[in-house]
Amino acid sequence: MQPRILTVSSANMDLNMRVKEAPVKGQTVFGKSYSYVPGGKGANSASAIAKLGAESYFCTSLGNDDNGKALLTLYNRLGIRTEYIKTDSGLPTGLATVTVEDDGANRITVFSGANLSVSPEIAENAFYGVKPDAVFCHFEIPFETVVHISHICHNNGVPMFIDAGPADSALNLSFLSPVFVFSPNETETEIFTGICPDSEKSCYEAVKKLRSLVSAEYYVIKLGKRGAAVSDGDFLEFVPAFEVPVKDTTAAGDSFTAALTLEYVRSKDIIRSCRFGNAVAAVTVSRMGAAESIPTADELSAFLCNKGIVI
């Protein structure tokens, strides 16, 4: 039986704009092309989990508008379970502007809209309805909801995986119950700890600081093209990324952490799960877009086979 994973998180429509270089303050630049693509950290992760073959339940909130309808249609097409998606909050569907430079790097601004109505109550209802093997969250919905679901997971012995984006130093992480994996990227690590994880020593220091803020079995720092560093507070191991031509890094982190969650539920091996996350994210960065750039299980197998990679 495939794992049953509940993602309680955000959904956005992305306005993806390609530019040579993003504008600096006060500057106007010309875009090369644009498209509206499905995004949102939660939706990207729920899509990854469905595409990779698990039972993907998504608890979020969409506006009763064209973007919301288009996103819901896509989720159903991907086989995401949508019965815990709210559509009557009276708020518009979340919207993100994603500016992607020639080297694939992005800058993102999010208008939360309906994501603000992902409440502790709907999350709790989804949890008891789904009875998941694992719960996955980001910080793109109200923090009180993430805190509430962490208590429920803790009380019910269900592992919780947190992708710590977007980060805000004002979030009081100590309100969270102990979680299984806490995974910030480089920028988020620096925002929460004040330490830039650019060396082995600074990764150790950052994990030490993270441990004082939030209790987790594992801390997994996503390091972009360097891969990821995983630590339980004692050991720290670097798991290198796979080399690929980069087109657009949007959803790299979302697909990495979702794939890690899925593989951990299947194998109970954290290093293997990070390798699996790196492989899924490598395919994601080699394609344009957010949710749609994430590979299916078959596409991932073809990538691994081509590269001669054994996870």
Buried b (16+ CB within 10 A) or exposed e, 48-72: bbbbbbbbbbbbbbbbebebbeebb
Q: What is the nearest approach in angstroms of ligand RIB to the Cβ of residue 102?
A: 19
- Specify the residue, 13 or 252, whose C-beta has the smaller distance to ligand ATP: 252
Alpha-carbon distance values, 309 to 243, 275, 302 (Å): 12, 10, 10
Number of H helices, E strands in the chain: 9, 13
186: contact with ligand RIB by CB under 6 A? no
95 strand-pairing partners: 13, 111
- Span of 69-77, 150-158, 167-175, 219-227 interacting with ligand ATP by CB under 6 A: 219-227
* Residue 199 to residue 205: CA distance in whole angstroms: 10
Alpha-carbon distance values, 138 to 77, 244, 254 (Å): 23, 26, 9
Radius of gyration of the chain (CA): 18
14: contact with ligand RIB by CB under 6 A? yes
DSSP state of 185: B
Site for ligand RIB in 74-93 (CB under 6 A): none
Q: Which does 196 bind (CB under 5 to 8 A by kind): ligand ATP, ligand RIB, none?
A: none
Q: What is the nearest approach in angstroms of ligand ATP to the Cβ of residue 289?
A: 12
248: contact with ligand RIB by CB under 6 A? no
251: contact with ligand RIB by CB under 6 A? yes
Cis geometry, peptide bond prior to residue 142 (ω within 30 degrees of 0): no
List the one residue from 253, 258, 263, 304 that touches ligand ATP (CB under 6 A): 253
260: contact with ligand RIB by CB under 6 A? no
- Specify the residue, 92 or 166, whose C-beta has the smaller distance to ligand ATP: 166
Nearest to 85 by CA among 143, 10, 165, 160: 10
Residues near ligand RIB, by CB under 6 A: 10, 12, 14, 39-41, 44, 96, 98, 108, 110, 140, 250-251, 253-254, 290
Residues near ligand ATP, by CB under 6 A: 106, 165, 185, 222-225, 227-228, 241-242, 244, 246, 249-254, 256, 278, 281-282, 285
